[in-house]
Amino acid sequence: MRRLAVIAALALGVSTPALAENPQFQGADPHALMIDGELWVFPTGGPVGAWDADRFHAFSSRDLKTWRDRGELIRREQIKWVRDDGAPERFLWAPGVATKDGKWYLYYSLGPNTPKPSHIGVAVADRPEGPYKDSGKPLLTGRQGFEAIDPMVFVDPKSGTPYFYAGGSAGSTLRVFEMNPDMVSFKREVQVEQPPFFTEGAFMHERNGTYYLSYSHGRFNGPSYSVHYATAPSPTGPWRYRGRILASDATHKGPGHHSFVQTPGGETLIVYHRWENPSGPAPYQGERQVAIDRIRYARDGSILPVKMTDGAAAPTLKPKG
């Protein structure tokens, strides 16, 4: 019953009841950011939309108990070049968000990859909740052996250089670019080795001088979907494969397409999607759910395997200090 209350409340743009719970709400491919002490989630779809969505919303929480629908960021009809390649249908998914010099940048996948190649676009806003205005053209287009999906932008805290990561599924190829200061074009492509077990959904974060490249492996709607990671001395490698940190268990299947976020209280969280008790074998049917769990590091900097939680065992946001 509470899940229905959450869906109805978010659809109306109001807060949900004050009960911490995993999963948090319906959605997939969540990109999470801390903004002014509040955790924002930018997913594919959401409580009122399917994974092959025609628009993006953002949801935010100060405690991971109540969630606020921040409204519509952009919809497909506002992207003028959607039909330029003659594809019969296009959907929006897997957003990534970055900020620089007071502007906000929404990177998004436009697919499917057949019969025409997929694209990645970018839109710009003055606020994280938008409204976002599209740049007017694709930022990156797929090609043979590379599917242009799952964008993620990481600004190196050491150099201030923005790096763009994308790719997966068809070809399972990761590509990395150094971006121009305008954040809507590339300066150059950086040749990188392909990480072991890479399929899609790359995410980069840095901790104590070590760069962590994490990514999803396997088929998105099956039990093999999981999160693996590698470390490097720079945002572009060379990668040292470190293992799998998030995998299916008895009741949660296909966890992946995640992001890491550090809370004001110093905790690191992983925000991801999963299938809850799917009925029958893969491919799973229905909708994926957004969940949030804790990340723990060993003394050597390695990431300990993530234990997926339910209900009140889900993390909450702790105040700073």
Q: What is the pLDDT of residues 127-147, one digit of tens each?
A: 999 999 999 999 999 998 999
Is 321 within the bounds of a domain? no
pLDDT tier at 312 (50, 70, 90 boundaries)?
A: confident
Contacts of 67 (CB under 8 A, 6+ apart): 6, 10, 15, 16, 24, 25, 59, 60, 61
Is 319 within the bounds of a domain? no
Is 200 within the bounds of a domain? yes
Is 48 within the bounds of a domain? yes
pLDDT at 48: 58
Please give the model's pTM, rounded to 2 decimal places: 0.93
pLDDT at 3: 41
Is 304 within the bounds of a domain? yes
Q: Which DSSP string corresponds to 180-235?
A: PTTSSSEEEEE--PPPTT--EEEEEEEETTEEEEEEEES-TTSTT-EEEEEEESST
C-alpha dihedral, 289 to 264 to 151 to 133, nearest 10°: 100
pLDDT > 90: percent of the chain: 86
Is 306 within the bounds of a domain? yes
* Cα separation, 103 vs 125, whole angstroms: 6
Domain encompassing residue 84: 2-313
| Strands (DSSP E) found in 21-147 | 25-26, 28-35, 38-44, 55-61, 68-75, 91-100, 103-111, 119-125, 133-134, 140-141
Mean pLDDT of 63-70: 92
Longest dimension (CA), the chain: 54
- The count of domains in the chain is 1
- Single-letter amino acid code for the residue at 289: Q
Which residues carry out catalysis?
Answer: 29, 200
- CATH code, domain with 197: 2.115.10.20
Mean pLDDT of 27-31: 96
Query: Does residue 20 have a pLDDT over 90?
Result: no
pLDDT at 21: 84
| pLDDT single digits (tens) 45-60 | 876 554 458 999 999 9
Burial (CB count within 10 angstroms: exposed 0-12, middle 13-18, buried 19+), residue 157: exposed
Is 318 within the bounds of a domain? no
pLDDT at 256: 98
Query: Does residue 209 have a pLDDT over 70?
Result: yes
